[in-house]
Every structure is written in C-alpha cells, then in structure tokens.
Structure 1
Amino acid sequence: MDILSALWGFGDTLVSYVIPFLLVLTVIVFVHELGHFLVARWCGVDISVFSIGFGPEIVGFTDKHDTRWRFSWIPLGGYVKFIDDENAASAQGREAFEKLSEEDKKRSFQGKTLAQRAAIVAAGPIANFLLAIAIFTVMFSLFGQQVTAPNVDVVREGSAAEAAGFKPGDVVLEVDGTRIDNFGEMQRIVSTQPGEELSFLVERDGQEIRLTATPELQEVEDRFGNKVPMGILGIQRNAGASEWTLKREDPLTAMGMAVNQTWFVISHSLGYVYDVIVGRAKPDQLGGPIRIAQVSGQAASLGVLAVVNFAAIISISIGLINLFPIPMLDGGHLLYYAVEAIRGRPLSERSQEVGFRIGLAVVLMLMIFATWNDLIHLSFS
C-alpha cells in the first residue's frame, strides 16, 4: 500500500505541478525565441535551428528555409541558432564566420550591422513583454475584474493606518499621486512598498484631506500556506455581494491598463533587486524552477485564468532577467554591442570569451542560490 500511495502521490504531483509548469514555460520560451527568430528573418539572417529545450531532439521538422524546428529533452529554455553560431548559447566566433562562403556571410548574424544585431538580440525580451501586455489586455477586456470601491470600513487598532489618522468611512482617492478607482488598486500599491512613506488623498465627510502613512512589513499567509512578505496598512473593506462589480474595459483602455500593469511588475521587480543589493530586503523571495513549478500548480488549481495571469507575470520576469547586463544573457550581448558602438570596433574574441565564462559562473551561482531558496521554502511550507 505504501508503494501504491507513493506512486499515486507522484502522479498527483506530476499532474498538479510539473505539467502546468512545463506548459507555462514552453509558451513563454517559444514567444521569447520567436521574437529573436522573426527579427532575424526580417534582417535576412539564415537560421539553422529553432529549439524548445536543450539536448537531443525528441521530435521536429525542417521548413522550406532549412530551419530545423524541434523539441528537445531538457525543457528548461530554448534557443535560436544562426548559421554562424558555434553553439546553442549563440556564441559567434570568427572561425565559424570565416568558414562560410561570401554569400552565406551576407546572411549570417555577424554579417549584419550593429543596429540589426542589437535589434535581433533585444527582440526576445521585448516579445516577452508584448506577450504579457497581450494577456493582460485580454484579461481586462474580455474577462474583466471583480472590483469594489476604495472605502475604509475597518481601521485595525495599533496599525499604520490608525497612526496616520485613517477613520472608518474614509474613501481613498489617491496614493502618491496615483488615482485610485477601487480597493484592489490601493492594496497593490501598498503591498509592494513596505517601509516607504506614502501620501494618501482621502475623502471624509465631503472634504478632501491628506494623510501620510508607512505600510508595515509583515508576512501574510495565502490560501496555499505560502508566507509572503508585503506592506500592510491596516485597513479593511467589508463589502457585501452587491458592492462588488465585474468591470470590463474597452480594448484600447484595456491595453493602456495592460502596459501600466507590465511596467508595475518591471519597476517593482527592479526595486526589489535594488533593495536586496543595498540590504533593505531579504533575498529569500528569489525563486527558481522549483518555486515556479509550485506556484504554477497552485495557479492551476484556481483555474485557467489564474494560470494565464501567472504566465504573464513569469513572461515579464524572464524578459527582464534576460536584459540584465550579464554575458550569456541577451543583456550581456547588448552590453558588448554598446561597447562596440563606443569603441567603433568589437571587443576581442578573448575578452568576449572571458566575459562569457564570468557570465556563466554568475548564472550558475544564481541558479544554485535560487534552487537553495526553493528547497528551504519547501521545507518550511
């Protein structure tokens, strides 16, 4: 019975965690690499391989342009390989370039202008951001949001809100100059800025007043038992069923909201990284594949819309990480091109090789650290 229970538990884990994770990751990786692919094709670069995953091929086909489209055994990423690439990491060496015929050199990545190469590299992360904007636009326009007015029904005793002078019956109009239309918008801003002084414009008895409050950093447990640090103001909204409305936006407004939502995720992700670097925040929220798989499974238990919304956030994160100026990542390539633009010539192959080795070491250390965080998170959850 123990063996059967273990097998049943493994099967449940596979369905609940691994499959949603792989579906989300595959879509995001495909869109990222498709960005590189489409701009490279537009610039006239020949592409030999478009791969989802690394390692030996599982299944694939060759299109009329002699590009091999394939799924590979290790599903944690993917790549587009140009005809002058030496490997799947898009390392371009002069030796591989010089082996090409004069005609092939014109269709190689290294044979393109600096602007074209930069556009091809940047297209992957940009595609991730566009995917997130598209998802959010559909969510806001077709499915809408359940919203309620930004009214204050309860002020917790001893909270930051009480210290700031909030009272039941207040209506929050603005937070730090940002107009507030519903209670969820205020929660989103407050939760991501613990320890930061925020200015609130509040309507009370027909009068507008200014209050200043600093959200307290607290660990909040979600429905899955995950403990998440966030800013807490200490006010509650006790809305009845009739006070909630489903708000759908027209496509243009929804797109604007989607752009704002994408920028919100980017800016607060960068803010968190900065806070970790300067010591204002703990790095325990940095997660890797295990944490993503766990959250993917949790999102799947809430339904398709939750998985799609989670995919948008992960797409933004992957696009942003790829823009970090670390050799091995797209941002590292763009850093090299910036140096080339300033110097008027590219860095030597030796310098680039050293940079890539340093970048590989940094990426591996980050992966190990993130995986360690994941394991600690799992052991205490």
Structure 2
Amino acid sequence: MRMARRRHAGRPRVTMTNLLWFLILIGVLIFAHESGHFLFAKLFRVKVLTFSLGFGGAIRLGRFRLAFTRGETEYRISWFPIGGFVRMLGEDPTQEVDPAERQRSFSHQAAWKRALIIFGGPMFSLLLAPPIYFAYHLTLSRAAAPVVGLVIDGSPAAQAGILPGDAVLRVGGTPTRTFEEVEDAINDSEGRPVELEIERGGEKRALRLAAQPAIDETGLELLGRQWDLGIRHERRGTILGLVSPDSPAARAGMKGWDELAAVNGVPVLDFEEARRELEKAKDSPLRLSLRRRVEIPCGAVTLNATAVIDVDLQPLPAEQAPLGAFRTAHAYFGFEPIDLFVREVIPGYPAEQNGVVAGDRILSANGEILTSIEQFRNVLARHPRDSIRIQVRHQGEVREFSFVPAIIEDKDELRQTQRIRGLGFKPDANRVSGLTIPRPDRLAYAGRMAFVEFGRTVRMNVMGFVRIFQGRVAASEAVGGPIMIFHVAGKVAEKGLGAFLAMMAFMSILLGLLNLLPVPLLDGGHLAFILIEVLRRRPLSLQARLIASYVGLALLAALMIFAFGNDLRRYWSDFFG
C-alpha cells in the first residue's frame, strides 16, 4: 500500500535529481567532444589557450573560481552549460599572431592538420558511443529465452500453427540461443521463406514460412524495413474485462480491470496458464483469486492499494458465449483479456464521433475477429486510407459502424508528439515479461552489440535528418533545447542506469552528427571552408569568412530561440504551473 498526494495526474516534478543527471549528461558529452579538438591540437603542437566546459566566464563561488591554468592552457567550467569550446592561438582570423609563435598557430597549420583538429570533436563524440553501449549491454545479465510468449492471430506464425510456449531452436539452419537471435534471423530473411525448427512438449517440428513487413505506425522507417512473423517474447497478462453486465463473471462480483491471480488455488502468471487451468476445470464451478486496484480517501491524501479478493464463478456452456468472447471447449466465463477494451477515448477522433466509450470492447474489423491490439493495428496498416467496418461491444450489445483511420496525435512520456493512424482510443498494456535465461557469451554479446547499436543509432539519426528535410517530421516537434534535455535526462534516469547510459550514447552520436552539418560556426562549416580552400588552392578572403560567420551566428541564434520556444511550449507547466 502506498500513499499519494492529491495532485494533477501526470505532472512531473522539477527536482535536484533531474538537475544532477542533466549536468552529468551534458558534462560527459561536452568533455568528450572538446577533448577531440584539444588532443589533436596538442598532437600537432598547436597552442591551446582555453579548454572550457560551458560558455561565458568561469564560475565563481565567492573567492573560489572553477578554473586553473596548467602550462599554457586555462581549464575552466563556465556558467552557460549547453556547450563548450577549445580556443587556440590563431583560430580567430582577425587575430594577429606573433611571428615567433606562427609555427604553433592554428591558422598557419597545413589544411589537413586543421581539418583533423576540427574533425576531432565530432569524431570523439561518435567514438564515445560504442564504449557506452558496451557497458550498457554488459549489464544485461539475463537474456530473453527463445520461447514464444504470444502469437498474433492472422500472422504468418499463427497460420503456420506456432503456439505460445513453443521453443524456437533454429531459424534458417542457424541455432538460436536467445529470442533476440530469433528476431535478428527473421529480420535478415527480408521476407523470404525460412525454415524454423521448433520444440513443443519434447517433440521437434520443422516449419517453413515467410515473414511479413513489420508495422511502423509512425511511417518514418528510420531503421528501414523490418520483418515480422507475428511472434512475441512477452506473454499476455491476466488483466480482464467483462463481456456484459449479466455475464457469469459480473454475477460473481468481478469488475473490469481485475487481475486474475489464481484459478482454483493454482497461481497463474499469464493468460495461457490461466487458459490451461480453465480447460482442466471444464464447466465446473470455479474459485478465482483476483487483484483489484482501489483508492481509499483518507483526509488530505488518497491511499492507493491492491485488494486481493476471492470470487466463486459458475460458468455457462461454451455455446452460449457471445460473438468474439473468450471461451474454452466446455465453458463460457464472461471475462476475457483486457487487450481490446477501451481504457480512454481520445477526443475529436472516430471513436468518440461514433459513440465509443471507456469500457467498450473492439470485436472485429472488416469481418476479422480480433484478439489483440497488434492484430487490430495490422488491419489498420493494410487499409490506412480505406473505410473499415468495425464491430464494438458496449455493455453486452454489439453495434457496427465504419470509419476511415485518422491520424492520431498524442504525447509520449518524453513529451514528443506521436502520429499514428487509428480509431482514437487508448488500450491497456496487458503484457508480462517472457521467460529469461542467463545470457550466453555475455562479453562477446556486449562487444557485438556496441557496434550494432552504434550503426543503428547513426542510421536512425541520419534518417531523422532526412525526414525533417522531407517535411515528414515537423521541426517544431524534432528540435529541442536545454529544457528538453533536462526533462529527458531525468525521465530516462528514473528507469535505471542502463537506460541512462543508452540515452547518453544516443545523444553523443546525435551531437557528433549535428556538428558535421555544413553550417558556419559548426565543425562542419569549418571543414567546408577548408575543403573550399583545398579546391581553390587558396583560402577564402577574410571578408567572406567573416560574412559566413555572421550568417552562421544568426542561424544558430535563430535555432536556439526556436528550440527554446519549443521547450517552453512543451514544459511550461512543469516550471510555472
């Protein structure tokens, strides 16, 4: 039992913990980036005047100044923490350099040396990611066992007869030790027919089937086309909905969103286990143990608790089950998994316009009986702009209507806008984790995934840039500033150190790629100037470089204002109520 104050649901708190994670994140990213410039400058004996984490003057705390000088370089931490710089002798084209020090001036170095000093920053940002990914994957001591937890009805796996609990031994002749290896092998098949060897009840079976394109509800395909057989490692949970107010379950005292914990005294962890126990009972009376969430008002606070209750249920004959309702070979119980029950209706979309309310159950689409939200999304993906005939059960009554999938806009937990085609309702996640095993070859796995994740993240970020330029992603949604980074750092850190490390690696790659854009004042702009110099065999005029720098400064200032405005729009209520 826990106590929770009455306050606006979902409103995050701005805490010192968030600030700490934010400073750790940007501190590591900036230090790595600027170290690339610094080390290459030192390698070529260029005089480094300042190494700064942050912009502006050094932070002063009374008489204490966060800066020190070692040799010819001042190292400092400055007030504005969203960037950093390495200032070198001769870097400013308007600066006069003592002839005695020209040999150590940045501007007097060969073009290839200057290019490497500039490229060192983005390179170190990119190179930081693989070690972080390695550390993250090294923490994953458990792996998903190659055991099917859920089969999506209508999928290639369902049509081939694969069942929950089947162990996948081989895909295309390749042994599969983990479910990740199963998914990788299926994806590598690129839709071509592939041999699967499965084991069920000690008996091995060989199947031949072809994967179908995986659904990308965003339509962005940032990782390219993916492939799916319709098997999942997660298992269907035991949160239940009621078929009708006069069903056997309702008469026994069950309520929607009760969680089934045991059948006739036998604990059940997922719905397949529950199904087996219900099959054993045939049409005999049942004793069901349920977990129910309750809120208990208590003065100024509300106690959120889970009550455990027992109910006695008398099933009806299976043939009395209504359309689409769960039943066994012998009995109908009046409850079914919550997967396709409506938890919340999103205002302004087809669900609300057609009278769908919370508690309704989506039964079928275009004549296909639905058993999971994934199956419903498959139907939507096949008919993104067509009229779809749908059946919905409300309080035991079935009604039909047609709708054209609408583009649904919603915010995720990081306040990013998600756009998917749908009916306009939110279901409940009714999934429990699948079986796990000790991760085989953990060190080798971490080493391989360090580079696999690096490649995926680079591709995802590059395709993200492409989608922005194509207009498929609005810049107002993709661009964020320091407030967004602050929010994301805190949110992700709540999930654990591993998630924070993975996010840090992602951000480091993004920082490296952003700095390679050919915009004056960014590293990519400086590299573009050097390339032009090499092609022309002489540098651009000082006036041309100054004009380009002013243009770049204006662009960056406009981008910062734009990003800060987006942050205020997203997070205003977090800071100002």
TM-score interval (norm. to shorter): 0.7 to 0.9
Whether contact under 8 Å (2:37, 2:117) holds in the other structure is yes
Distance 1:208 1:359, change over 3 A: farther
Distance 1:202 1:147, change over 3 A: farther
Is residue 119 of structure 1 aligned with residue 121 of structure 2? Answer: no
**Post-superposition offset of 1:71:** 1.0
Whether contact under 8 Å (1:220, 1:227) holds in the other structure is no
Aligned partner letter, 1:116 = K
Superposed CA deviations along residues 129-155 of structure 1, whole A, max 9, x for unmatched, are: 1111111122233x1354314655434
State the match for 2:20 in structure 1.
19
Identity %: 29
Q: Which runs of 5+ in 1 are unaligned?
A: 1-11, 86-91
**1:117-196 equivalences in 2 (<5 Å):** 117-141=114-138, 143-144=139-140, 146-149=142-145, 152-156=148-152, 161=155, 168-169=162-163, 182-183=178-179
**CA distance, structure 2, for counterparts of residue 324 and residue 348 of structure 1:** 22
* 1:272 aligned residue (464, 481, 484): 464
Greater fraction strand: 2
Aligned partner letter, 2:67 = G
**Post-superposition offset of 1:26:** 1.0
Q: TM-score, normalised by structure 2?
A: 0.53
Is residue 373 of structure 1 aligned with residue 366 of structure 2? Answer: no
Whether contact under 8 Å (2:156, 2:209) holds in the other structure is no
Whether contact under 8 Å (1:165, 1:211) holds in the other structure is no
Is residue 203 of structure 1 aligned with residue 196 of structure 2? Answer: yes
State the match for 2:67 in structure 1.
60
Superposed CA deviations along residues 39-86 of structure 1, whole A, max 9, x for unmatched, are: 10000100111111111212111102x10001111111110000123x
Aligned partner letter, 2:191 = S
Whether contact under 8 Å (1:288, 1:371) holds in the other structure is yes
**Post-superposition offset of 1:207:** 2.6
Whether contact under 8 Å (1:122, 1:334) holds in the other structure is yes
Q: Which moved more, 1:208-217 or 1:125-134?
A: 208-217
* 2:86 aligned residue (80, 89, 104): 80
Classify the secondary structure of the residue corresponding to 1:45. Answer: coil
Classify the secondary structure of the residue corresponding to 1:302. Answer: coil
Classify the secondary structure of the residue corresponding to 1:147. Answer: strand
Superposed CA deviations along residues 211-245 of structure 1, whole A, max 9, x for unmatched, are: 2324141589899475664899xxx986544x354
**1:303-314 equivalences in 2 (<5 Å):** 303-314=496-507
Whether contact under 8 Å (1:144, 1:248) holds in the other structure is no
**CA distance, structure 2, for counterparts of residue 174 and residue 371 of structure 1:** 49
**CA distance, structure 1, for counterparts of residue 171 and residue 46 of structure 2:** 50
Q: Which moved more, 1:213-222 or 1:102-111?
A: 213-222
Q: Which moved more, 1:319-328 or 1:143-152?
A: 143-152
Whether contact under 8 Å (1:151, 1:237) holds in the other structure is no
Q: Which moved more, 1:331-340 or 1:275-284?
A: 275-284
Whether contact under 8 Å (2:195, 2:206) holds in the other structure is no
**1:348-363 equivalences in 2 (<5 Å):** 348-363=541-556
Distance 1:79 1:379, change over 3 A: closer
**CA distance, structure 2, for counterparts of residue 295 and residue 349 of structure 1:** 41
State the match for 2:49 in structure 1.
48
Structure ID, larger Rg: 2
**CA distance, structure 1, for counterparts of residue 504 and residue 213 of structure 2:** 33
Classify the secondary structure of the residue corresponding to 2:517. Answer: coil
State the match for 1:215 in structure 2.
215
**CA distance, structure 2, for counterparts of residue 202 and residue 173 of structure 1:** 8
**CA distance, structure 2, for counterparts of residue 356 and residue 373 of structure 1:** 25
* 1:259 aligned residue (438, 451, 456): 451
Classify the secondary structure of the residue corresponding to 1:73. Answer: strand
Superposed CA deviations along residues 178-198 of structure 1, whole A, max 9, x for unmatched, are: x987556888999xx9xxxx6
Whether contact under 8 Å (1:164, 1:212) holds in the other structure is no
Greater fraction helix: 1
Aligned partner letter, 1:61 = F
Superposed CA deviations along residues 331-369 of structure 1, whole A, max 9, x for unmatched, are: 111111111111111111222222222222322333333
* 2:533 aligned residue (313, 316, 340): 340
Aligned partner letter, 1:346 = P
**Post-superposition offset of 1:106:** 0.4
